[in-house]
Chains A and B, each alone.
Chain A
Amino acid sequence: MRKIGLIVVLLLGMTGIGFVSAKLRKPDQQFVPHTIVYRFTEYDEAENPISTTIVVRRMSADGSWRHTVVGTDGSITHTSGKLAGEITSRKTDSNSPTHLGFSYYEAPGRNPAWISSDLQDFLMFTALRNDGTRFSKLEAVDISVL
């Protein structure tokens, strides 16, 4: 009888520990689920556009993303991954510029980029070659929050 009582106490104790640890566990990073349609343009050394593709980026609340890339020839390619954390802690305000209704700030550094704090995502990214000429430009042309 005493053994059964001990087992019951142990089980209740483990239940309590499990409950508390679940409550204290840090929740997964939450992101605003959204879809961004980008126009992705590549340039030659003279900065003439040589190709344009459409990239549909879907971002989930847990930070996982998936790109569907539609080539000019109709080909479809997929890439995917998951954000390891917030891409920026910087906040925008009412004076910040907007693009497609979302405020952004211009990232410092040599590669021009617009970053939305609210979406934790790029609205524009221009990749420059080492000589400073444009290599590619990723520019949001449509954004929808899911």
Chain B
Amino acid sequence: MTRKIQVALMVAGMMLAFSAGRVLAAECAYHQPSCNYRVSGCTPTGGSCAQHGGGTCYQEYGACCPGGDVDYSIFCAPSCDGSGGGPPCSN
């Protein structure tokens, strides 16, 4: 009987962990850019912002300055107006 309870608890724990993993996977996948960039555009992406104070999960992208690389960031915000991208580029 005790063995059955142990197995049931283990299965329940595994199911809980699986569910937690799914919830975590569905969270907005925050991403920090490795450069300052001029924002070129912004698009909503999948992922919940419930754990980040609400809003919508956005992906913003642009060209780095200085340099010709490109990069992006992902964040939760009420809206996306292209004002992100770190400190403004000097030129």
Which chain B residues lie closer than 8 Å to A69 at the CB level? 43-44
Which chain A residues lie closer than 8 Å to B44 at the CB level? 53, 69, 77, 79
Which chain A residues lie closer than 8 Å to B64 at the CB level? 109
Across the interface, B83 reaches (CB within 8 A) one of A53, A81, A107, namely: A81
A16 CB within 8 Å of chain B: no
Taking a contact as CB atoms under 8 Å apart, the answer to whether B82 and A80 are in contact is: yes
Interface residues on B, range: 20 to 34
Which chain A residues lie closer than 8 Å to B40 at the CB level? 65, 83, 87, 121-122
Within 8 A of A (CB), among B60-91: 61-64, 68-72, 74, 79-83, 88-89, 91
Nearest B residue (CB) for A51: B46
Question: B35 to nearest A CB, angstroms?
Answer: 9
Which chain B residues lie closer than 8 Å to A37 at the CB level? none
- Determine the distance from Cα of A79 to Cα of B38 in the docked complex, in whole angstroms: 16
Interface residues on A, range: 35 or more
- The digit string for B18-50, where 1 denotes a CB below 8 A from any CB of A, is 000000000001010000001111111110000
Taking a contact as CB atoms under 8 Å apart, the answer to whether B88 and A135 are in contact is: no
- Determine the distance from Cα of A84 to Cα of B39 in the docked complex, in whole angstroms: 8
Taking a contact as CB atoms under 8 Å apart, the answer to whether A67 and B91 are in contact is: no
Question: A115 to nearest B CB, angstroms?
Answer: 7
Would you list 5 pairs from A and B whose C-beta atoms are within 8 A, ordered by A residue?
A: A55-B43, A80-B82, A111-B70, A127-B31, A135-B29
Where the two chains meet, the residues of B that have a C-beta atom closer than 8 Å to any C-beta of A are: 29, 31, 38-46, 56, 58-59, 61-64, 68-72, 74, 79-83, 88-89, 91
Where the two chains meet, the residues of A that have a C-beta atom closer than 8 Å to any C-beta of B are: 40, 42, 50-51, 53, 55, 57, 65, 67, 69, 77, 79-85, 87-88, 90, 107-111, 113, 115, 121-122, 125, 127, 129-130, 135-136, 138
